Amino acid sequence: MCVALLIYTVIAGLLLPVPKLPILNETIRVLHFHVPMWFGMILVFTGSVVYAIKYLKSNDSTQDIYSSQLANMGIAFGVLGIVTGMVWAKYTWGEAWSNDPKQNASAISLLIYLAYFVLRNSIKDEQQRNKISAVYNIFAFFLMIPLLFILPRMADSLHPGNGGNPGFNAYDLDSNLRMVFYTAVLGWTLLGYWIASINIRLSVGQQKIAD
């Protein structure tokens, strides 16, 4: 399923006609590769926080494995989003890092999530580790939401949808672009879930052997 969606994304994303905009030129096609990384990150982090709450309710350590592996995948998405964004910015905004509010905010939220793993690995006792990291996960998620969705909108940003612009109108999303874009979001997110679920399975197996 996800493979078919991604094959469609790459072919249609590279070949279908796109709106001709100055400065952006062909790089508008990056919309199908850079932006889904962030959508994927947020969706995967949402899954992670759901499992963190489930863990706190049930004290079941498999829920903790779900939560931490999904957070892992979210960080991978975030790093890819930042790196691809920097390449894109270099050739459209002129600088890889222009201290754009959204760039800074996403870097901060990534650091917050990296701290999640530092915290996790620094606690020896397993029960304590799971509990504290679940609580921190919830905290990190609700810190990320204003960082990514509210604060950049209050400042002038180079990103579309900020500084008073409505979100998608600025992209000039035409129906072609939109169709590929939604497929891309679904495809990349499913790929992330796939990799995370393999990781989860391996971790659960490892735990069973250890017990």
Q: Binding residues for another protein, per CB under 8 A?
A: 10, 14, 24-27, 29-30, 33-34, 37, 73, 76, 79-80, 83-84, 87-88, 91-92, 191, 195, 198-199, 202, 205-206, 209
CB of 73 to another protein, least distance (A): 8
The pair of three-digit structure tokens given for residue 27, joined into one six-digit string: 């790089």
CB of 10 to another protein, least distance (A): 7
The residue among 79 and 145 lying less far from another protein, judged by its C-beta, is 79
CB of 62 to another protein, least distance (A): 16
Instruction: Please say whether the beta carbons of 103 and 85 come within 8 A.
Output: yes
The residue among 16 and 56 lying less far from another protein, judged by its C-beta, is 16
What span, in angstroms and rounded, lies between the C-alpha atoms of 154 and 39?
21
The residue among 22 and 166 lying less far from another protein, judged by its C-beta, is 22
- Helix/strand/coil for 177: helix
The residue among 110 and 153 lying less far from another protein, judged by its C-beta, is 110
DSSP state of 158: S
Count of H-run helices and E-run strands, the chain: 7, 0
CB of 162 to another protein, least distance (A): 21
CB of 161 to another protein, least distance (A): 20
**Which residues make Cβ contacts (< 8 Å) with residue 158, sequence separation at least 6?**
89, 93, 98, 100, 102
The residue among 24 and 180 lying less far from another protein, judged by its C-beta, is 24
What span, in angstroms and rounded, lies between the C-alpha atoms of 98 and 136?
30
What span, in angstroms and rounded, lies between the C-alpha atoms of 46 and 160?
23
